[in-house]
Structure 1
Amino acid sequence: MDAEIAVISEELARIWALLRLQVQNLALPSRLWQLGVVAALIVAAIAFARLVQPRMREWMRGLENRPKWQLRLLLTINRRLKLIFFTIFVWIALWTMRGITPYPSRSYILAMVASLALAWLAVVFAVRLVRNPALRSVVRWGLWIWVTLYLLGITDEVGRALDRVAFTLGEFRLSLLSFLKVIVLVSVLLTIARILSSTSAERIRRNESISPSMRVLVVKMLQIGLYGAALFAALRIVGVDLTGLAVLSGAIGVGLGFGLQKVVSNLVSGVIILLDKSIKPGDVISLGDTFGWINTLGARYASITTRDGKEYLIPNEDLITGQVVNWSHSNEFVRLDIFFGTAYHDDPHAVRRIAIGAASGVARVLSTPAPVCHITGFGGSSVDYILRFWITDPTGGLTNIRGNVYLALWDAFKEEGISIPFPQREVRVVNDTLRVETGADRDNGP
């Protein structure tokens, strides 16, 4: 341990000596005026940014209909106007200085600052591809530090110092340098994997020759494969020996298996649903009291949107083990039944004809298959009928179409003189000797 600390101290001392040499080079009398130019350019960039930023924000408020990536790019430009203006100004100053004098030493500081500003600006726009804000900040600061050290020429010394700070467990060794490389490489490769998966997923979703459930399955498998390959490649590039983690990962896997049984069950159920195509996005289903259409099929749950705008997240396991009514599984036709009754003195043949005509005139009711009406029995006060009709858009609602058909029946029966009876009861007193005792009788007494 003492030897490691001594080596690290030696590397830090060497880095400090190189930094002092750089500062001494910058402090030469022939170069001090360049520092003044850089300071003036910083002030000018801040002044221009404060002048342009409010106007640019006001202009951006009228671009709400633009694509999101354009808005994010404009927002990034607005936030980094100071760095953008400074980069432009310092490069103009450098080109002007090189046009005046052919001696590179007279523009040494301007050249270094211009290179740093351009590299930092490129990092700002490159890290926008990383969506996670915390990870984006880590990658941005890491790349800023790396390009600064690279342009100062001390990356090898800093790398050796970071490599000395390591954690060792048996044959497994993880240094601070390897850890930083893993973070950067994983971020870069995951970003590339996300871009590839998003582009491929968009093309797969537009492919009409593939069933909707198969599209979801292909997209999920593609994302898992790309992200897993990115993580594995990053670890292998850095030089991490994954065989040493096999036992540890196996133990962790067993523990997670017991603790996350429901999660794993939902994941497996989701894969089964996508493979057997029993439920797919766009299907109209009923599960218990929930009636709606499948919005999305996720890895853990299915999103069901109901007619009242509520969105239910149903675990995939419930869709496998529970009784699910899929209204559009094999075809788009959905049959609905309504029941009614008419008086005994009405002609049942006319009632059937009028009911079929009334249902056929309602919007959303199909003419093929045509509505049908049948007598189901002779009730206590009415002849009972069932009217059956078909629709192809259950997502438009079932209660409203039934209500429209009932209203059509009411109007048609009223126009044709068909009566809809209601239960009536008649009470007869059989024994005439019984007398109903009134209040007056009780007052008069016997």
Structure 2
Amino acid sequence: MERLQGWLNDALDTALGWLSSPAALSQFGLLIAAYLIARYLSRRFSPVIERTLTPKPEATHIIARLRRFALQFLPLLLPLLAYALTAAGEGLTRSIFGQGEVIAFGKRVFLLLVALELVRKVLPSGLLKLMGRYVLLPVMALNAVGLLDDVTARLDAAQINLGNIQFTVLALIRGAVAGSLLFWLGSWSNQQSAGYLKAQPDLRPATRELAIKATEMAIFGAAFLILMSIMGIDLTAIAVLGGALGVGIGLGLQQIAANFVSGVILLLEGQTTVGDYVELDGGEKGTIVKMTARACILETFDGKWIVVPNEDFITTRVVNYSDQGSANRYEALFSVSYETDINTVPAIVEAAVAKLPFVLQEPDGPDCELRGFGESSVDFAVEYWVAGIDDGKNKYGSPVLFAIWNALKDAGIEMPYPRRVVELRGQQA
């Protein structure tokens, strides 16, 4: 409290001295003039800048994204212009009057206004806005009143001990601020690069996913290394950590490492990618909806998600029904009674199935085959080709069976049912 009272007394004495000094009053006049000029320039050039930077609504390329990002900082134009004009006038004032404390104070106030507009109108909601409100603004306020150096020295002197590791309070605050800013920029950069890569039609889906993952790792890896340097942590410790991590992988993380390497191989080969309908040796079936560094996520026809480790796609047999978008062949089983002239059945069934809109004539049209003679029926199967896949929703099987039933009924061919011969023996009296 005594130190705070001393600061207040010093501030009061300084203010009274400024009010009684012609040089200080002239500097106040320069500050007002700088603000008015900055306001005029801001009103004049803000619409021009906005029109120049605003891209077309349908534009999605990287330049358009950068222009939209730059537009977010337009509210900072007024305080930045005032700060720049004040900074330019400070040197002139010191050369004429031999002092410039008032105009230097005004410059710091304009810098505080820049930070205030940044927090209010630019920073997104969440951790970054919270850090700006409770860290950036107090720092700028202390800088404006000239107390930042004193407070910084005290924070740098306060140490926190975690075993053999020592941190100063200043280093922790600096790391929190820099980390928030770096990872926000990293997240934004990752979103923009991922959107740009997904919009490239020339890239294969697997190559696109690999490029997105590699870019993400590079961005956040660089952000981590920069943060370590800002916090004053010796980067040689990372080498020790990497060695320890290698030992850990060798002892207990083999499966994680194997799945990670398998995921990279899957992305490089491109034989299995997002959107493919696959069946594994273990019986898992589904459409691949997501590929991560550890596993692939399959969605079954009934909406369930199955998480399959990447290693299973490398070490076991995988049936990919939709690879390269090729046609697929299916068959439908049916039977007729023994009273039927079976020589007429193939032509009737093939003609009925060929009329279905999803049945292809290439690479081969419907083919009806005799499969065997059962106890009560003659068994047939009709094979047909379609452009898609039957992913368990019975998209093709049910219409084909309906067509076979209707065709046989129209031809007067009876569908069989089990029959038994019962012999009755007379009873003795």
TM-score norm. by structure 2 comes to: 0.70
Matches within 5 A, 1:363-374: 363-369=357-363, 370-374=365-369
Q: In the alignment, what sits opposite 2:225?
A: 232
Q: In 2, distance between residues paired with 1:183 and 1:364?
A: 60
Q: In the alignment, what sits opposite 2:305?
A: 311
Cα offset, 1:229, TM superposition? 0.7
Change over 3 Å in CA distance of 1:13–1:368 after alignment to 2: farther
Structure 2 regions of 5+ residues with no counterpart?
21-67, 83-99
Q: In 1, distance between residues paired with 2:103 and 2:217?
A: 51
Q: In the alignment, is the contact (CA less than 8 A) between 1:166 and 1:175 conserved in 2? A: yes
Change over 3 Å in CA distance of 1:118–1:415 after alignment to 2: same
Change over 3 Å in CA distance of 1:260–1:25 after alignment to 2: farther
State whether structure 2 residue 15 is matched by structure 1 residue 22.
no
State whether structure 2 residue 260 is matched by structure 1 residue 267.
yes
Q: In the alignment, what sits opposite 2:355?
A: 361
Q: In the alignment, what sits opposite 1:49?
A: none
Q: In the alignment, is the contact (CA less than 8 A) between 1:292 and 1:395 conserved in 2? A: no
Q: In the alignment, what sits opposite 1:182?
A: 175
Query: Which deviates the most, 349-358 or 396-405?
Result: 396-405
AA partner of residue 285 (structure 1): V
Q: In 2, distance between residues paired with 1:315 and 1:284?
A: 16
Q: In 2, distance between residues paired with 1:27 and 1:387?
A: 102
Total equivalences in the alignment: 354
Q: In 2, distance between residues paired with 1:361 and 1:202?
A: 43
Q: In 2, distance between residues paired with 1:260 and 1:16?
A: 60
Matches within 5 A, 1:241-280: 241-248=234-241, 250-251=243-244, 254-255=247-248, 258=251, 260-280=253-273
Cα offset, 1:358, TM superposition? 1.7
Residue of structure 1 aligned with 2:410, choices 415, 438, 444: 415
Residue of structure 2 aligned with 1:121, choices 104, 117, 120: 117
Q: SS of the residue aligned with 1:394? A: coil
Query: Which deviates the most, 288-297 or 109-118?
Result: 109-118
Cα offset, 1:294, TM superposition? 1.3
AA partner of residue 291 (structure 2): L
Q: In the alignment, what sits opposite 2:188?
A: 195
Summarize deviations over 1:21-73 as a string: whole Å, max 9, x none: 33665799989xxxxxxxxxxxxxxxxxxxxxxxxxxxxxxxxxxxxxxxxx9
AA partner of residue 117 (structure 2): L
Cα offset, 1:259, TM superposition? 5.1
Residue of structure 1 aligned with 2:377, choices 382, 401, 409: 382
Q: In 2, distance between residues paired with 1:334 and 1:154?
A: 76
Cα offset, 1:106, TM superposition? 12
Q: In the alignment, is the contact (CA less than 8 A) between 2:336 and 2:415 conserved in 1? A: yes
Residue of structure 2 aligned with 1:217, choices 210, 215, 226: 210
Structure 1 regions of 5+ residues with no counterpart?
1-11, 32-72, 78-83, 92-103, 436-446
Cα offset, 1:434, TM superposition? 4.3
Q: In 2, distance between residues paired with 1:186 and 1:278?
A: 39
AA partner of residue 334 (structure 2): F
Cα offset, 1:142, TM superposition? 1.6
Residue of structure 2 aligned with 1:342, choices 320, 336, 339: 336
AA partner of residue 386 (structure 1): A
Matches within 5 A, 1:69-88: none
Identity %: 31
Q: In the alignment, is the contact (CA less than 8 A) between 1:26 and 1:109 conserved in 2? A: no
AA partner of residue 375 (structure 1): L
Q: In the alignment, is the contact (CA less than 8 A) between 1:307 and 1:395 conserved in 2? A: no
Cα offset, 1:341, TM superposition? 1.4
Q: SS of the residue aligned with 1:400? A: coil
Cα offset, 1:426, TM superposition? 0.5
Q: In the alignment, what sits opposite 1:301?
A: 295
State whether structure 2 residue 194 is matched by structure 1 residue 205.
no
Change over 3 Å in CA distance of 1:245–1:412 after alignment to 2: closer
Q: In the alignment, is the contact (CA less than 8 A) between 1:172 and 1:241 conserved in 2? A: no
Q: In 2, distance between residues paired with 1:330 and 1:147?
A: 59
Q: In 2, distance between residues paired with 1:170 and 1:382?
A: 83
Q: In 2, distance between residues paired with 1:156 and 1:15?
A: 15
State whether structure 2 residue 320 is matched by structure 1 residue 326.
yes
Summarize deviations over 1:144-178 as a string: whole Å, max 9, x none: 22211222222222222222223579997632222
Summarize deviations over 1:209-250 as a string: whole Å, max 9, x none: 221111111100110011001111232244431114543553
Cα offset, 1:329, TM superposition? 2.3
Q: In 2, distance between residues paired with 1:144 and 1:385?
A: 81
Q: SS of the residue aligned with 2:183? A: helix
Query: Which deviates the most, 419-428 or 408-417?
Result: 419-428
Q: In the alignment, is the contact (CA less than 8 A) between 2:286 and 2:391 conserved in 1? A: no
Q: In 2, distance between residues paired with 1:167 and 1:366?
A: 74
Change over 3 Å in CA distance of 1:109–1:279 after alignment to 2: same
Change over 3 Å in CA distance of 1:142–1:221 after alignment to 2: same
Q: In the alignment, what sits opposite 1:285?
A: 278
Q: In 2, distance between residues paired with 1:407 and 1:322?
A: 37
AA partner of residue 116 (structure 2): W
Cα offset, 1:393, TM superposition? 2.2
Q: In the alignment, what sits opposite 1:401?
A: 396
AA partner of residue 389 (structure 1): Y
Matches within 5 A, 1:17-96: 17-18=6-7, 20-22=9-11
Change over 3 Å in CA distance of 1:175–1:418 after alignment to 2: same
Q: In the alignment, what sits opposite 1:158?
A: 151
